[in-house]
Structure 1
Amino acid sequence: MFNSNEHALWLNAEGLESAARERLSELGLRSEVIAESGDSVRGDAVLRLVTGAGAARTYAVEVKSRLTPELATSISLSAQLPALLVTPYVSEPVAERLRARGIDYVDTAGNAHLAWDDVLVDVRGRRNPAVPRSRTSPNGAGAFGRAGLRVVFILLCRPEMAAQPYRVLAGASGVSLGTVKTVVDELAGAGYLYEGAGDRRLARGGELLDRWAEAYSITLNATLSLGEFSVDDLSWWPDSEAEMRAQGIQMGGEAAASLIDSHLRPASLTLYVEQLPARLIGRHRMARAEGRGNVHIRKRFWHVPGTESWLVPSPLIYADLLASGDPRQREHGDRIRTIDDRLVRLGGS
């Protein structure tokens, strides 16, 4: 059975997959690796599961180091094969959302849900073993730590900046030169940056956007809040471009997405600012919300010339939609990836 030494596997995708296969074996399922990470099928591996009676199913394995209920609602999986989600631990709120979406899963504690044809494996209630603290803190400088995410965001917004000196990337993202070097090295090692002949350029931009948006939801998003407000009438915002520009305000979230995808009818505003916009708050009679309001004011975390539109760059609009945990917004996130020029270019890189 699972023991504490196996928690070292929590730190990497290969180890997680191996631990999950052991749990599947304990449940009487034989697993065969059909393809490894990096093959043409999207996912971390392709795995064939076979029951003792010979029933079989082939999955695209998706390894996630952490899952929240919001991510379980919004997570994007392969459309080529049924998805098998592998993660250290699936809490019951997360499990409920995965089952509702028809996503099969297994965790390293032994919780699992697999359903196809006449096969049903449903194991619930196994407790999360004590997981030692990872050597990489969310505050760390890795590409998907809190500081590293700022650097990756710059590259997603302006891929040509991959060729810039470290000091330029540091200035645009507001992080140290050491953090930039760590992030560039990590991205190059993972195949997201091509380095050669004195040049660097972004590669696999669509996949990098997926990873960045997921990590943003977990690590960076919650740290940016300057306040939650409620307002009875949101009808004023489409005519407020001049007002927002004058106050240095940029709009993200579903309101910004609605200007890209006209099918979306936004019910909230997400504003990125250097400091709370007192004039805007007063003029539109915004009241502090005890819980989550319909106006979310967040700290701007980038300084990139050429991104001064009253809308934030589209990679952040997309990430805001995913971080909302709202399936409706997730659907529109998928739509804007097919119609926004910057996101389409990233997907083709």
Structure 2
Amino acid sequence: MSSLFSASVLLEQVRLGLQQALATRISAGPAAGAAQQTWQLGASACFSVVALPLVAETTWTGALDRLTHSGPPLLVVAERISHQARTHLRARGICYADAAGNAWLRHAAGLLVALRGHQQAISSPATAPTPTAPSTVPPTQLNVAGMRLVFHLLRTPALVACPVREIAKTTRFSPSVVVRTLAYLAGHALWSADPAGWAALRPAVVEHWVGHYAATLRNRLNPQRYRWLTAAPPTWPYPLPAGCVWSGEAAAQRLLGISAEPPSMLTIYSTLPRAQLAHYLQLVPCQRGPVELLNPYFAPLALDPEQCAPPLVVYADLLASPVPRTAALAQQLREAGHW
């Protein structure tokens, strides 16, 4: 896992991995800082958890000496804990868990768990049924939820500095989606929890997101093509009802202030029922029609007079369009700094 991960991301990834492996809920409580939490396993096993990347290094001994306390049993969490460090931690009675799947938990309440990276766990009867080791390998590709989450992060850069739970709450995704998506970004050198670092990475993240947009996200938005009911299309520009926004070529013309001929392909995102919108615009289904309707994945829909989708969406739709001239519009939109 990349060193760009914040402590809160590391803690959440390891917590979710242990929860999956032990088939039991592990709740995280507040503590004194992003690198410290209290984890509750079952009704009586409580641990004082601290994220300590130094455990994987030769300087682990001094770092652990500074963590001696009299509260609940100490549970050290790290990206990866070496075999030597694990041996010394067990000898000192200090519990540990890492993102590679290694874990050793011991509690006076009758809990004993031993996990060795991606192998079967050995546990006492006080734990859940024999578990399997957690899968902490980052996803190989962004799924629909991951694409939508990255879109949120690009639109609201301040989120990158928030803890996992805050990102999940704000974006309405589960913490596991957040952890896996950030793991994917980190694995592709596209993640920083520092706003300045994220700003520097943003152009690369945008291009990566756009490159996966058409195949991963766009085709899940129920895209449907239509033609005009009458032989002659209405006079351009066409009025849109509330709950609809332009994207693609039509939106680019508006955002760039270009007065041009009517777009050869119209892209519209709408929350209205398809039949209602088709009736309003006088459209009929046609596989090669010049009008495309899609469900939005961004909210709220634009309320400005131009009725345009977010510029990043417009940019992605331009690059996904089969119309050759849209590539030049996408470049203009990018150079104008709209996204």
TM-score, scaled relative to structure 2: 0.50
- State the SS of the aligned residue for 2:237: helix
CA contact (8 A) 2:227 2:290 kept: yes
Q: Does 1:203 align with 2:200?
A: yes
- State the SS of the aligned residue for 2:251: helix
CA separation in 2, counterparts of 1:315 and 1:329? 14
Specify whether residues 234 and 255 from structure 1 end up closer, same or farther in structure 2 by C-alpha distance, changes over 3 A only: farther
Equivalent residue for 1:334?
331
Amino acid across the alignment from 1:238: P
Specify whether residues 181 and 302 from structure 1 end up closer, same or farther in structure 2 by C-alpha distance, changes over 3 A only: farther
Q: Does 1:229 align with 2:226?
A: yes
Amino acid across the alignment from 1:255: A
CA separation in 2, counterparts of 1:235 and 1:174? 40
Equivalent residue for 2:211?
214
**How many residues are matched?**
197
Shift of 1:259: 0.8
CA separation in 2, counterparts of 1:249 and 1:237? 16
CA separation in 1, counterparts of 2:183 and 2:196? 14
CA separation in 2, counterparts of 1:142 and 1:168? 25
CA separation in 2, counterparts of 1:271 and 1:263? 19
CA separation in 2, counterparts of 1:278 and 1:311? 22
Q: Does 1:282 align with 2:279?
A: yes
Counterpart among 150, 153, 157 of residue 159 in structure 1? 157
Shift of 1:329: 0.9
CA separation in 2, counterparts of 1:272 and 1:229? 13
CA contact (8 A) 2:191 2:198 kept: yes
Counterpart among 243, 247, 251 of residue 252 in structure 1? 247
- State the SS of the aligned residue for 1:327: coil
CA separation in 2, counterparts of 1:199 and 1:336? 23
Alignment of 1:282-301 (within 5 A): 282-289=279-286, 291-301=287-297
Equivalent residue for 1:314?
311
Specify whether residues 166 and 272 from structure 1 end up closer, same or farther in structure 2 by C-alpha distance, changes over 3 A only: farther
Shift of 1:328: 1.1
Give CA deviations for 1:63-93 in whole Å, capped at 9, x if unaligned. xxxxxxxxxxxxxxxxxxxxxxxxxxxxxxx
CA contact (8 A) 2:160 2:193 kept: no
Specify whether residues 211 and 294 from structure 1 end up closer, same or farther in structure 2 by C-alpha distance, changes over 3 A only: same
Identity %: 27
For structure 2, the 5+ residue unaligned runs are: 1-134
Equivalent residue for 1:147?
145
Equivalent residue for 2:298?
302
Alignment of 1:84-99 (within 5 A): none
TM-score, scaled relative to structure 1: 0.49
Amino acid across the alignment from 1:302: F
CA separation in 1, counterparts of 2:249 and 2:276? 23
- State the SS of the aligned residue for 2:309: coil
Shift of 1:322: 0.9
- State the SS of the aligned residue for 2:338: helix
- State the SS of the aligned residue for 2:153: helix
CA separation in 2, counterparts of 1:195 and 1:212? 18
CA contact (8 A) 2:142 2:184 kept: no
Equivalent residue for 2:116?
none
Alignment of 1:1-349 (within 5 A): 144-167=142-165, 169-170=167-168, 175-195=173-193, 201-231=198-228, 232-236=231-235, 238=237, 240=239, 243-244=240-241, 246=242, 248-261=243-256, 262=258, 265=261, 266-289=263-286, 291-303=287-299, 308-309=303-304, 310-339=307-336, 341-343=337-339
Specify whether residues 314 and 162 from structure 1 end up closer, same or farther in structure 2 by C-alpha distance, changes over 3 A only: same
Q: Which has the larger radius of gyration?
A: 2
Amino acid across the alignment from 1:155: L
Specify whether residues 228 and 325 from structure 1 end up closer, same or farther in structure 2 by C-alpha distance, changes over 3 A only: closer
- State the SS of the aligned residue for 1:193: coil
Shift of 1:288: 1.0
CA separation in 1, counterparts of 2:301 and 2:255? 18
Give CA deviations for 1:125-150 in whole Å, capped at 9, x if unaligned. xxxxxxxxxx9xxxx96663222111
CA separation in 2, counterparts of 1:275 and 1:188? 38
- State the SS of the aligned residue for 2:193: strand
For structure 1, the 5+ residue unaligned runs are: 1-134, 344-349
